[in-house]
Amino acid sequence: MRKNYPHLLLVNPWIHDFAAYDFWAKPMGLLQLAAILRAHDVSISYIDCLDRFHPRSKAPGTRKRRGRGAYLKTRIPRPTGLKDVPRYFSRYGLPLEWFREDLSKIPQPDAVMVTSLMTYWYPGVQEAIQQIREIFLDTPILLGGIYAGLCREHASKQSGADLVVTGPGEGRVLDLVADTTGLTLTSRFDSEDLDTYPYPAFDLQHWIPYVPILTSRGCPFACAYCASHYLNPKRMRRSPGSVVEEIRYWHQARSVVDFAFYDDALLVNAENHIVPILEGIMDAGLHVRFHTPNALHVREVTSEIARLMYAAGFESIRLGVETAAFEERGHLDKKITEGEFLRCIQALKSAGFHEKQIGAYILVGLPGQSISDVVDTIMAVKSAGALPIMAYYTPIPHTALWEEAVASSRYDLASDPIFTNNAILPCQKEPFAWETLKRLKKLIET
């Protein structure tokens, strides 16, 4: 006799790359789907291949650095197209045998949902799906996430999944359950109202070192190097009160102290959004810390916003600067002028933030970019009193800069997402030498 409700396995796959590190990274979309499914009585099993707190892990210091840290890793051969890169390549996450052992302990699921992140990490997705297929031979495997959304054709041909799902999954997940299991579920939430969503199922993790918070979806800007507008074309916001209540819940129920805002546009329409959120946090007397790994828009940082962020417990600020060529950046974005940047830094420092807390992302490896441009930007950020942070440019399909990236690359970017790996600076005809990059890092540190 068939079970009343299905059992689904959700998997966050490995990273295959030259380097990877947990900077506030959690599969938030997958855990959001897990929470929605549980709220509809679906039985959930969950495996995170990137779990740094797996019961078998003996890595020292895993609970330091506000919960961030290095992933376990296993050295593997470089992909065929990257044999010319003189760096070690690794599988980041659980050892293969741990994953297979965890899979073998799970009851036969009715379907498996796998997520994906960076497009050039797809070999880790392939490997995870292959291993799942060997254990659960005839179980349908669904693939979603960023790689699936940006490279659907490639994912359909190469990932090994039975179905590739594009776009936000919250509004479709119940239909997908019906299609794969035959059981129709009546929705208990409104996919168009973020306040009705259950909190992401962070409790499925072995330990909750920090919690990512998403107060909105989408972005009103359309920067040439960013795919946010393509992946989330509809702008949606939560009510300030619901955000404060979620922070309160994780802090009180799970003793979480560190929260990372995942928004692409956290400070937009501040008076109706972030201001009441920050005021609510202070009124609630929550003694927590906040971080902004997704860059804040410089133009939106006023003296009042800076003061409120400092008072509410923001510890690390990250800003989107990209380049100091302020007068020549119109083809990239329209977020910042030199005067706005300097006013932003002054507002943050006047509020009490010190230089090491204020990081400014600098894009490195843009099509046609010179070393002198990077040096000038580093010096401009340091002169303003902030910490330069190099962010290597990743060519992303469906962005305005994609065609220029394809034309400027020494690789055939359109043929394989593996060539968009930012570690190889793919849009430089002659890549910056490793010694040059080391000098840039030293320039930042001195």
Q: What's residue 327's pLDDT?
A: 56
Using alpha carbons, list the distances in angstroms from residue 317 to 160, 267, 289: 40, 12, 11
Q: Name the CATH topology of 7-181.
A: Rossmann fold (3.40.50)
Q: 212: part of which helix (H) or strand (E)?
A: strand 211-213
Q: What's residue 332's pLDDT?
A: 64
Other CB atoms within a 10 A radius of the CB of residue 133 amount to 16
Polymer length in residues for the chain: 446
Q: What percent of the chain has pLDDT over 90?
A: 86
Other CB atoms within a 10 A radius of the CB of residue 104 amount to 8
Domain positions in the chain are: 7-181, 212-445
DSSP-H helix ranges across 316-433: 338-351, 371-384, 402-408
Rounded CA gap, 348 and 444, in Å?
A: 20
Write the DSSP symbol of residue 90: E
Q: Consecutive 10-residue runs of the chain (446 residues): their mean pLDDT?
A: 76 98 94 98 97 83 75 96 92 98 97 98 98 97 98 98 96 95 93 97 96 95 91 95 98 97 96 98 96 94 98 96 64 71 97 96 92 92 95 96 96 97 90 82 92
Q: What's residue 334's pLDDT?
A: 57
Q: What angle do CA 136, 110, 154 make, to 5 degrees?
A: 65
Question: Following CA atoms 437, 441, 444, 445 in sequence, which dihedral angle do they give, to the nearest 10 degrees?
Answer: -160
The answer to whether 378 touches 388, Cβ cutoff 8 Å, is yes
Q: What angle do CA 344, 348, 351 make, to 5 degrees?
A: 140
> Measured between alpha carbons, how far apart are the two ends of the chain, in Å?
69
Answer yes or no: same fold for 7-181 and 212-445.
no
Q: 291: part of which helix (H) or strand (E)?
A: strand 289-291
Residue 258: phi, psi to the nearest 5? Answer: -105, 130
* Lookup result for tokens 């008076």: 271
Which CATH number fits the domain 212-445, given the four candidates 2.40.50.100, 2.40.400.10, 3.20.20.70, 3.30.470.20?
3.20.20.70
